[in-house]
Amino acid sequence: MNEQILTLINELGEERAIRALDREIKLIKRIEKNKQQEIEDSKKIKHIDLEKARIEELDLPGAIYMGLLNIKVFNVKDLIKYTREELLKVKRLTEYRVSKIEEQLKKFGLKLK
């Protein structure tokens, strides 16, 4: 038997040690279950109505938002018509910012043209 368990039994007595270990096992199982649920939730793709979704729903930083407004992109449907290369030519849309756009689109199962 594990030395820590033997020490616990000696200090608390067999019955109390069993209850303490049982609580620890339940806690570990609960933590594992929560972690598994978080993993499953993160895998789920958020749904978006392309006909109505505005670019604000992508939660993009202000500079990116302003860059998209400069080229008259107001909704997600218009945004996904652009290629990465086309967006990189837009003032304020750097490589990093275009990557952020792609990252946000991916959360909705979308990508640039």
Per the structure, how many domains does the chain have? 2
- Looking at the structure, do residues 38 and 59 belong to the same domain, yes or no? no
Mean pLDDT for each consecutive 10-residue tract of the chain (113 residues)? 74 78 88 82 64 86 93 94 95 94 88 92
**Could you tell me the sign of the dihedral formed by the alpha carbons of 7, 10, 14, 15, in that order?**
negative
- Looking at the structure, do residues 30 and 60 belong to the same domain, yes or no? no
Q: What is the pTM of this model?
A: 0.59
The per-residue pLDDT for range 7-38, each reduced to its tens digit, is 777 777 777 778 878 888 998 999 998 888 87
Range of the domain at 15: 3-43
Q: Is residue 50 part of a domain?
A: no
Q: Is residue 113 part of a domain?
A: no
Residue in 51, 71, 38 with CA at minimum distance from that of residue 101:
71
- Looking at the structure, do residues 74 and 103 belong to the same domain, yes or no? yes
